[in-house]
Amino acid sequence: MASELVLLVDDEPSIVQLARMYLERESFRVEAAGDGPAALEAVERLHPDLIILDVMLPGLDGFEVCRKIRSQDASTGIIMLTARDEDIDKILGLELGADDYLTKPFNPRELVARVKAILRRSERPASPNCSPLHVGNLRIDPSRREVYAGEQLLDLRTQEFEVLSTLASQPGRVFTREQLLQLAWGFDFYGQTRTVDVHIAHLRKKLTGSAVSIETVTGIGYKLVA
């Protein structure tokens, strides 16, 4: 039974009330904060397992809150709530490192599903029997959760590692965005696949200079090629 602590950061009481109701139904513990400074204070005090973070916050916006959290903590799951789909481009531009995003108004059941998926991912034990994957000059070590391009250790966030590992499991295979959501995130809802594009863009920058690349197959998805 779930008992993880979720920090819900939003200044709209109706959003907080709705999300809290659905999360607590699934036995999550929920704490709330209504502005940016309060969110940072709550993170430091409570050490939540996951943060649901609205973009438009008084005091300090969600982009800056996310950046400050990520400067000290690379692993805690963060789901951004955006007022419109275009906001994700700003998240991409700032390379904030959020794990996922939802556009308001959102389906609360989908929010709960994504919370569960990200928490399952973070709790997934590394199998000591998993052999490293080799694609071009990339070596992906699932047991250590490390990726090397030649001799260089790549600084990948948790979800970036999951996406790259999925693509590298079958080099040259085209994965649709929906398949990547299912395999790398574990989502059962496919309403917003833009989060895949964001993580692919981050990975492409980090793979610059390596012997592999992630290619776009127009209208279908992505594949990893050496």
Cα(136)–Cα(178) distance, integer angstroms: 26
Cα(169)–Cα(176) distance, integer angstroms: 14
Q: Which candidate, 33, 184, 164, places its Cα nearest to that of 100? A: 184
Please list the pLDDT of the chain residue by residue as tens digits (226 residues).
468 999 999 999 999 999 999 999 999 999 999 999 999 999 999 999 999 999 989 989 998 999 899 888 777 889 988 887 777 666 665 567 788 888 888 889 989 988 988 888 765 555 555 788 899 899 999 888 889 988 889 988 878 888 999 999 999 999 998 888 888 877 665 556 777 888 898 899 999 888 899 999 998 999 999 8
What's 193's DSSP letter?
-
Cα(111)–Cα(213) distance, integer angstroms: 32
The pLDDT score that the predictor gives to residue 75 is 78
The pLDDT score that the predictor gives to residue 1 is 44
The pLDDT score that the predictor gives to residue 192 is 62
